[in-house]
Every structure is written in C-alpha cells, then in structure tokens.
Amino acid sequence: MDEITKLDKFVVSPFKQEIELEQVDYEAGFTSLRIKIRERSRFTIFDVDTQTAEYWGNALINWANDQKQKGDSK
C-alpha cells in the first residue's frame, strides 16, 4: 500500500488558495511530491518527481530573490 506523509499546509495571500504538500512513497519503490492547491471548491493536484521539484523550487527562489532586489532598488 502507498504511504502518504503530510509535509506542510498553508494559505497563500492575497487570493486565499490553500496549498498542501505531501510525500507519497509508492509500493512500487519510488517517491513523489504531491502538491494540492484548493481554490474554493476547485482542486488541482500535481505529483512531481525529485528533479521537477528541485527545478520548480529553484525557479520560485530565483523569482522571489528578483522581486526582493527590485524592491530594494526602489
């Protein structure tokens, strides 16, 4: 049976989306990161591998750092 471990859950401002992160360990011997996004009654679910999670995470960090730099220069 697959095993699901809850990692984090938070609400994003200002649009109030609820994001939940879970680790899914599959009986077949691999692991993925499950990202659940809830907007009112609508759900979006992504299951991503390690490489995709790393790429996506780095893209988010790079974007946040760029925004901070823009804010510092104003």
Are 34 and 22 contacting, i.e. CB atoms less than 8 angstroms apart? yes
Which residues lie below 8 Å from residue 45, measured CB to CB, with a gap of 6+?
34, 35, 36, 37
Could you report the per-residue pLDDT of 30-59, keeping only the tens digit for each?
Answer: 999 999 999 999 999 999 999 999 999 999
CA end-to-end distance (rounded Å), the chain: 53
Residue 73's pLDDT band, with cuts at 50, 70 and 90, is: low
Residue 71's pLDDT band, with cuts at 50, 70 and 90, is: confident
Structure pTM? 0.86
Mean pLDDT estimate for the chain: 95
Apex 32 CA angle, 28 and 37, nearest 5? 135
Question: If we measure between CA atoms, which residue out of 67, 30, 69 comes closest to residue 50?
Answer: 30
